[in-house]
Structure 1
Amino acid sequence: MAIQVMLGPQGNRPNLAAAFEALGNDGPVVSITAGWRDSEGEVDGVAGDIGRPVRDLGIYQRAEAIFAHEPELQALHRERQDKLLELQQLYRVRLTAAMSAARKLLRSEGDPDLLKLEQRAAITQVRGLDRHHVRRIAAIHREFNERRAHLTVPTARQQREEVEQMLRDAGVVLIAGGHVAVLLNRIRLFRLESLLAEKTVIGWSAGAMVLGERIVLFHDNAPQGRRDAEVLDAGLGIVNGLVPLPHARERLDWTRPVRMLLFARRFAPSKCVTLDAGSQVRIEDGRVTATARCSLMLRSGRKKRWSVR
């Protein structure tokens, strides 16, 4: 039985060791630390925490080696990334207007019968834009995969076979945080989605984000100013029905209930769950079986401690 465990950041209150011990899995342990980029593979601290040897898949550095030997694949990959970046900017233009209208309506006063329908319609428009954006992204990924299939890339094939074998032999996969877009990109580049879905996985911070159905970027207190939450891409879809929100304590402004309730309603019926230091959500056979130190974002704009035992 595959088990997924989603944890918050492992800084102030690390709980990776406890989550790992609770699995009772004696199989080999591998890690994916591509989100750390240049620091990929520095897992001695992780191995010390869990008391077991850890082999890193090294997919960030492997990808760099592949690109050095396969210039056609590198050019195709760069073209895809440029398209995704431009599409994200276009989506953001539309999203800003749609979110502004929704917030304005949610703050408005008037005839409840008239207002309620307009508020719902405004939120529906935002949800529709998010779905449209994910479809456009999926089309770009499909085009990349179709064109990639026609390339002769022996280095990529060899590297992928090595990574797949390590993953098949693993009893537990640890997915660290870091740069979520890079992490997702490298997992997809090596086409590890289906293998990961069969494995027991512990993901923390960005590593938890990639497990979900969609990746939502959010930060109400960013240095460059408040920005609307935005969908970056579909996730791996290994965990369904949850929107993981790492570092929620620092990044969400709970003093603004309209922003919070719009967030919750926008992504419903999925549960928006905070993942701060010490947080844990354990999923077995698609069902949440245990939680710790996490909260759900409610449709009212408030949060409620989520306790499952």
Structure 2
Amino acid sequence: MADLPVSFIQVTDITRITPHMARVTFVADRLDDTVGRTPDQQVKLCFPRAGQRSPVLPEQEDDATSWYQAFLAIPEHERPWMRSLTIRDRRPGSTSLTIDFVLHGDTGPATGWAGSAQPGDRLGMVGPSAIYSRPVPLATSIEASDWLLLAGDETALPAIGTLIEALPAGARAIAYIEVADAAERQDFDTRGDVTVHWLYRDGVQAGRSDILVDTVRAAEFPAGRPFAWLAGESGAVRALRRHLVSDRGLDKTSIDFSGYWRFELTQDDAPTAEDMAEAQERLAEARDLANVPTI
């Protein structure tokens, strides 16, 4: 498998699994056997610009840096929009995979595309690759901890689903998931001992609700040492992480966290000081986990 595999994927089916979540099935031009075999596996999808039937992408190269430089060299009006999404499922023995898209209006390239996608539509797919996505050490985390804490909003729901469904028999997990309303609930098929708390905004705009942070802060945790997985709106993720470290006494290495989106900002906007600090912390923790000394 190349360090940064690049392929094209084509839509074969679209299913609206909730009012604001679409499950899109793709067939890939090529797909390594390792793709979709582990939970929380991210890829970068490349969306065509207006008037394009397929996104313009450089040829795959062995060197990821060279490929990305070639990508940036594409004129801006032709360069695809690039967004990170989670592989929800992989059909064994095939090049078919599914990815869930949150639908919240025509407010960005991913949700806008998914809201009007048709069979035959094509996207570019970059990854999955350890270069930009550190896999959650799920088995190791469960063995070293007494239970798993999952917390996030609907943008984290596809990844949370893969994590819950990958749990071994008897593994305990508690999930706090913020969604728009009760119609956004989903079912999970798991061997684990899982409790899911669905938290409803009920008309409050995503990014303005404090229900996820407030609920986790007020929750009575079970005995034992948890491993925490946090994702969703960056401000909420940071608040949850601060609470777990400062108030609950969790070690930072027992928390995997990722700010998927920023309220009133897009992925194309410049990173804030808090974004940069978060990225530096994630890099530092990745070095610690890999026992790589900081130079």
Q: Normalized against structure 1, the TM-score is what?
A: 0.31
Instruction: From the two aligned structures, give the one with the greater helix fraction.
Output: 1
Structure whose CA Rg is larger = 1
Greater strand content: 2
TM score, norm. by length of structure 2: 0.33
Compare relative contact order (CA 8 Å, sep 6+) and give the higher one, 1 or 2.
Answer: 1
